[in-house]
A and B are shown apart, each in its own frame.
Chain A
């Protein structure tokens, strides 16, 4: 779908409106509840453990670039790493952040520096701990594995886009006995993280992380808006199941990649497999 179909226009704008409305409501004082997420609760514990052991922690925001597909994932991961760094700064911990994409160096530097400032220890920020390793996937993995082993890190945090190197990094963390927390939208890598890490954020828990960690009303509002969006989609799925069972392809036509004329919505127009 290069351009929005008429239904997608209505549907996406409705989701947009719901999310923004929830954010505004939260900013105006509405208190939202967010359930306990063990993986995120473990972050404080993992940071505290590193402080007790007097060893650094490693926090990666993944291998994603700033492209349209990966940019939002990378920025979300960097936001999580920023919160981890802030907690680590409060404990007086050193945080090592490996970087794969050179374009992210200035963004990461500014973000991590501010995190140390928020944590009350701006002087603890060391530029040498923000390391550009390589933009090649396996060279980066080798670099991260080397850092984990040389520095004997106490905790490893892996957030963002990961590919086949995920297991190399996570297994090295496991070898040095680090507490590992991971979260990735790369669904093919989630099983590897589940096998190798102590805590894993699955699915949209990854996007809920900053809201959970900071309890900022704006972020909590966005999460609630997102959940309402999920309920709307669930409603459409149930409606689609019922209507399709009776031979009415309305929902398949509404979510088709190509626009289906309104007058033909009740006829099987959209080719199979094009439903969004």
Chain B
């Protein structure tokens, strides 16, 4: 674990230099791998990486610590994953820059939007850096203008649109066109009636216990949600769990064919 403990000062710089050197050597070595061996190599790396998680989960854990000898490396491996994924942010930024600079250079339709996007990107990047390294009122306000005033408000605006889309989608879905749509409409109506105080007031005269209590709107709603909807959802989730297990095994053992691998490795 010594190799993975946080360092400071000169040792940190040595670690960084060592990591860069090792990455460079690894990159060169990978470039030298013949084409026909690349996919078996990917399959081997996938298997070894997956094996760690499988072994860590299956090997018995010490009842006192709830850990086996592989458990302490979990956070280190998670950090390595995090670093690898963070490096890829650059790929996304590169993709955005290429696409939108092309739009602007070729004066494609709507190129003005590309200018806006790039200006906002540069703006939030620069003000973010200034806020972090020169944290005065002006820089903080400039960043807040982009982040709170722009990005967060636009996010909220997009989210609020969902309410309107729900209405239009529900209108289409609940039209009585078939037996299934009718059952859907009736169930939704009963759940809504049982949910709102006005709907509950309709059956307030019925007793709270005994056979007739089953016809109170809130009890009908409860029955639909817990006796009809929840079991169906659990059944769907059971299928999904097994599907995920089966797909994970296919990917881990590189058995997937057609999409990621050819017929033969």
Point out residues on A near B: beta carbons under 8 Å.
2-4, 9, 12-13, 15-16, 19-20, 23, 65-66, 68, 72-73, 75-76, 78-80, 82-83, 99, 101-106, 111, 115, 118, 127-128, 130-132, 135-139, 141-142, 150, 164-165, 167-168, 170-171, 174, 185, 187, 190, 192, 194-196, 202-204, 206-208, 210, 214, 216, 218-219, 222-223, 225-226, 229-230, 233
Contact = CB atoms under 8 A, between A and B. Distances in A.
Contact of B250 (A103, A115, A206, A219): A219
Contacts of B84: 103
B93 A138 contact: no
Contacts of A192: 166, 169
B222 to A, nearest CB: 19
A79 B253 CA distance: 16
B162 A226 contact: no
A117 to B, nearest CB: 11
Given A103-B88, A230-B239, A230-B242, A219 B256 contact: yes
B27 interface: no
A196 B249 contact: no
Nearest to A115: B259
Given A150-B110, A219-B250, A187 B237 contact: yes
B171 to A, nearest CB: 9
A95 B188 CA distance: 37
A210 B246 contact: no
B165 A171 contact: yes
B57 interface: yes
B248 A72 contact: yes
Nearest to A190: B236
B3 interface: no
B258 to A, nearest CB: 4
Contact of A185 (B58, B166, B170, B240): B240
Given A72-B251, A99-B92, A187 B260 contact: no
Interface stretch (B152-160, B189-197, B201-209): B152-160
A133 to B, nearest CB: 8
Contact of B257 (A72, A99, A102, A216): A216
A203 B90 CA distance: 35
B258 A210 contact: yes
Contacts of A207: 240, 243-244, 246-247
Contacts of A164: 159, 162
Given A76-B247, A128-B102, A168-B165, A218 B88 contact: no
| Of listed B58, B88, B165, residue having the most chain A CB within 10 A | B165
B59 interface: yes
Interface stretch (B11-19, B60-68, B126-134): B60-68
Nearest to A81: B259
B88 A102 contact: yes
Contacts of B220: none
A220 to B, nearest CB: 11
Contacts of A233: 238, 242
Contacts of A9: 58
B95 A105 contact: yes
B243 A4 contact: no
A16 B250 contact: no
Given A2-B61, A139-B155, A229 B68 contact: no
A73 B151 CA distance: 28
Contact of B259 (A83, A137, A168): A83
A218 B110 CA distance: 46
A83 B258 CA distance: 8
A138 to B, nearest CB: 4
Identify the 10 closest CB pairs spanning chains A and B, nearest first.
A102-B92, A207-B243, A79-B259, A103-B88, A204-B239, A138-B158, A204-B243, A195-B173, A195-B169, A226-B246
A202 B245 CA distance: 17
Nearest to B95: A132
A222 B255 contact: yes
Given A3-B60, A138-B154, A230-B242, A72 B255 contact: no
Contacts of B28: none
A210 B250 CA distance: 12
A229 B95 contact: no
25 contacts: A16-B245, A75-B260, A99-B95, A115-B259, A131-B99, A138-B158, A141-B158, A150-B109, A164-B159, A165-B158, A167-B169, A168-B162, A174-B172, A185-B244, A187-B236, A195-B169, A203-B240, A204-B239, A207-B246, A218-B250, A218-B255, A218-B256, A219-B250, A219-B258, A222-B249
